[in-house]
Structure 1
Amino acid sequence: MNKFTPKWFLYHLLVGGFAILLLYPVIWLLMSSFKVSEQIFITADSLIPRPFILSNYVQGWEGFGGHHFGVFIKNTAVFVVLTLIGHLVSCALIAYGFARLKFAGRSFWFGVMIFTLLLPYEVVMIPQYIIFSELGWLNSLKPLVVPAYFGHPFFIFLLVQFIRTIPRELDEAATIDGCNTFQIFYRIILPLITPALATSAIFSFYWTWDNLLGPVLYLNSPSKYTVSLALNMFLSNETVSNWGAMFAMSILSLVPVFLVFFFFQRYVVEGISTSGLKG
């Protein structure tokens, strides 16, 4: 049968049109990174750079404060890895406790945890800043990384729902074989929740890589800036903003994001839609 039917053509035409519409801001950002800064917004309706220059990438990579942009990428990578490890370890253990262990007030504390999802960060921002200031953690990654080791409500909820789909008969069989509570978690639960952990890791990566408010609050030295904060430094209220350099480094900062999406996008769907066991 000939698959090139009018229905097939119309479907791909609509999907391709929506794809171009959604990708247009990224395409505009990419092409603007090759324009002279003064012409970016004057010629915003044109994608073709005239003239086509590479100096924006050179200037952007030079950075500021005596630190090139590679330093900011390295700082962000350290920030992301430490936060990701904290989220996975803490949330997996907490979710296992809520889903499998019986303790006084389990439903109440689970409800309290869910309620924290409704709290905007601005509510806890000032109390947290005061606490970290008293601890002497300002101008370091500690205020940004340490909270990740106490769990994240969204990831805990996701993992709890996933663990609840795993039959308890597996726990009982492991108990008969002599496994204790932690061994059941390590040998039975943990391998089965790998898709949900992968989903949590991907979301944690995206949210941490793009985090701007946290670094703005706690980081003061350019040598410790993250990518998001470094990009913000290209803008100035007193002098001319270097839009070209900022757009160029924005493109470089998007490369890890696109790579993670293309290589691990199936885990997002699998982690949310699968039931924890595969036939």
Structure 2
Amino acid sequence: MTMGSRSAKTIHYILVSLVSLAMIYPVLWMISSSLKDGTEVFSTASSLIPHNPQWQNYPEGWKGFAGISFATFFKNSLLVVIISTIGSVLSSTLIAYGFARIRFFGRKFWFVCMMLTMMLPPEIVMIPQYILFNKMGFLNTYLPLILPTFFGTPFFVFLIMQFIRSIPRDLEEAALIDGCTRFSAFVRILVPMIVPAMVTCAIFSFYWRWEEFIGPLIYLQDPKKYTVSLAIKMFSDPDAVSNWGAMFAMSVASLIPVLVVFFIFQRYVVEGITTGGLKG
């Protein structure tokens, strides 16, 4: 290795390390703040090393509030996230198969309409959805957070559809000739081949639903039904003393499910996105 290539490689590593540090700094600051008391969080905000680590912030935060422990909020979030993810991935897969393989009248028109919904800000449909769910009597339940996911997610439909298009039609046609129905060919032939795309969508859905704040804030009224994102906000009280240490401690704890899911399924993310961008 020449001197010039060594210098270039050293500079590359330094730049990558600096960029990585800048990206991970907010997480490090949050972890550091979870070990500080309320006054130290902002008085020594630039320091990542607590002067007197407050380990009791974690058990104190886990106790929750109003007699409701944080285990309840984790259970609520997992319930909403798991059911929503299953509904979103399954419905999006079926819709994507219809657009990719079945020829029907107005297919291009409906596909364009679906893609246009991706450009709509969520605030536009927030009020009509609230009125609709209110008339259906779904307020203070998880149905407004779960039910819409069973009608497909446009981004997932597009991603899975591109993945399906990269698979030759001959495989399905051979199964149809052998006596399989279209649905059976879809389940037995296509689904095992599009698992990376489905897992990628599941990971994205898990992230989006886990961190969702506006939906639970609008539809949930009973504190026992709060999700993690909404419960964390309850530690901040503008009219009283905010428990910043406990809030940051539970924020760190809320990252654990996200990190576990990512490290277990990270290889599917790259494979699903790269392959989903190809066209057959």
Please classify the TM superposition score into its range, dividing by the shorter chain length.
over 0.9
Residue in structure 1 matched with residue 120 of structure 2 by the alignment: 119
Tell me how far 1:256 sits from its aligned partner: 1.3
Aligned equivalent of 2:11 = 10
Distance 2:26 2:2 in 1: 36
Q: What's the counterpart of residue 55 of structure 2?
A: 54
Residues 166 and 276 in structure 1, CA contact (< 8 A), matched pair in contact too: no
Equivalent position amino acid for 2:266 in 1: Q
Aligned to 1:162, the other structure's residue is in SS state helix
1:109 shift after superposition: 0.6
What is the aligned length?
277
Correspondences of 1:217-228 after superposition (within 5 Å): 217-228=218-229
Distance in 1 (alpha carbons) for counterparts of 2:58 and 2:133: 36
CA distance in 2, matches of 1:65, 1:163: 49
The aligned residue for residue 255 of structure 1 is 256
CA displacement at 1:157 relative to structure 2: 0.8
Tell me the SS of whatever aligns to 2:125.
helix
Listed one character per residue, the Cα deviations across residues 201-249 of structure 1 (whole Å, up to 9, x for unaligned) are: 0100000000000000111111100000001111112112111110000
SS in 1 for 2:218: helix
Contact 1:166 1:275 in 2 (8 A): no
Name 1:176's counterpart in structure 2: 177
Displacement of 1:275 in angstroms is 5.9
Equivalent positions of 1:23-172 (< 5 A) are 23-172=24-173
- Partner residue, 2:213: 212
Q: Deviations over 1:163-192 (max 9, x none)?
A: 111111112111111111101110111111
Alpha-carbon distance in structure 2 between the residues aligned to 1:71 and 1:30: 23
In the TM superposition, residue 276 of structure 1 has moved relative to its aligned partner by 9.7
**Counterpart contact for 2:162–2:276, Cα < 8 Å:** no
Give the residue type in structure 1 aligned to 2:56.
Answer: S
Which piece of structure 1 moves more, 199-208 or 15-24? Answer: 15-24
Amino acid of the residue matched to residue 256 of structure 2?
V
When normalised by structure 1's length, the TM-score is 0.95
RMSD: 1.7
User: C-alpha distance in 1, partners of 2:239/2:277?
Assistant: 55
Matched, 1:238 2:239: yes
Per the normalisation by structure 2, the TM-score is 0.95
- 1:151 positional shift: 0.5
Deviation larger for 263-272 or 77-86: 263-272
Deviations 1:74-93 (A, max 9, x none): 11011110001101110111
Q: Is the 8 A contact 2:140 2:221 kept in 1?
A: yes
Query: How far apart are the structure 1 equivalents of 2:276 and 2:265?
Result: 19
Contact 2:197 2:276 survives alignment (8 Å): no
Once the 2 structures are TM-superposed, how far is the Cα of residue 10 of structure 1 from its aligned partner?
2.3
AA aligned opposite 1:107? K
**Matched AA of 1:96:** Y
Give, in whole Å, the separation in 2 of the partners of 1:52 and 1:260.
Answer: 29
Distance 1:215 1:41 in 2: 29
Share of identical aligned residues, percent? 53
SS in 2 for 1:110: helix
Does the Cα contact within 8 Å between 2:63 and 2:69 map onto a contact in 1?
yes
CA distance in structure 2 between the partners assigned to 1:230 and 1:42 by the alignment: 25
Deviations for 1:254-274, whole angstroms, at most 9, x for unmatched residues? 111122222222211100112
Q: Is the 8 A contact 2:77 2:228 kept in 1?
A: yes
- In the alignment, the residues of structure 1 paired with residue 117 and residue 52 of structure 2 have an alpha-carbon distance, to the nearest angstrom, of 51
Structure 2 Cα separation of the partners of residues 54 and 266 of structure 1? 35
Tell me the secondary structure at the aligned position of residue 42 of structure 2: coil
Q: In the superposition, relative to structure 1, how do residues 36 and 123 fare at CA in structure 2: closer, same or farther (>3 Å)?
A: same
Contact 1:62 1:69 (C-alpha < 8 Å) held by counterparts: yes
Q: Deviations over 1:51-106 (max 9, x none)?
A: 11112112211101210001100110111100011011101111101111111111
What secondary structure is seen at the aligned counterpart in 1 of 2:43? coil
SS where residue 228 of structure 1 aligns? helix
Letter in 2 for 1:76: S
Q: Counterparts of 2:44 and 2:242 in 1: how far apart (Å)?
A: 17
The residue type paired with residue 124 of structure 1 is V
**Matched residues in 1 for 2:8 and 2:185: separation?**
52
Distance 1:31 1:51, change over 3 A: same
